Amino acid sequence: MAEGEGFEPLDLVQIQQILPHRYPFLLVDRVVEMIPGEKVVALKNVTANEPFFQGHFPGYPVMPGVLIVEALAQAGCVMMLQSIEDRENKVPFFAGIDSCRFRRPVVPGDQLRLELTVLRQRGISCKMVGKAFVGEELAAEAEILAVVGERS
């Protein structure tokens, strides 16, 4: 459901009820729009306190591209897991990345807007196209394949 159509944005506590990720690897702060099985829009606030900035890079902090893609994948998995029964016994996995491109650096103080649209969903797998924006500027884009597995 999109905002304005009965969708209530998800805060961090609600996201943690859906995703198994935790600090320092939970990279979604808020879900602002969702149409289950179709699209999701989420936010990641990038702060100077992120642990990866200590080493990437001292004196010139840049968010690693792989973590931008991970943030996209996590936002997509919120949408995938949102409607799954027994989700506390499920775990989302990255299964593939295609056509990944990085367009601009992401630095402390930026807010990433993570937009994903489902290309196809079959059973436990979902292929999505994701775009990460800072303001109106495209920072990264990728096609992401995710699957939902059983926790052992």
| End-to-end CA, the chain | 32
Catalytic residue among 30, 39, 56, 131: 56
Does the structure show a pLDDT above 70 at 13?
Answer: yes
What's the whole-number mean pLDDT along residues 51-69? 97
Task: Output the pLDDT for position 129.
Answer: 98
Task: Output the pLDDT for position 144.
Answer: 98
21 belongs to the catalytic site: no
Q: Where are the domains of the chain?
A: 12-110+118-150
Contact 1, 49 (CB under 8 A): no
Q: Could you give the count of Cα atoms lying within 13 Å of 152 in the half-sphere of its Cβ? A: 0
pTM for the full predicted model: 0.95
Task: Output the pLDDT for position 116.
Answer: 98
Does the structure show a pLDDT above 60 at 3?
Answer: no
Give me the CATH topology for the region 12-110+118-150. Thiol Ester Dehydrase; Chain A (3.10.129)
CA-based nearest residue to 117, from 79, 148, 147: 79
Contact 30, 43 (CB under 8 A): yes
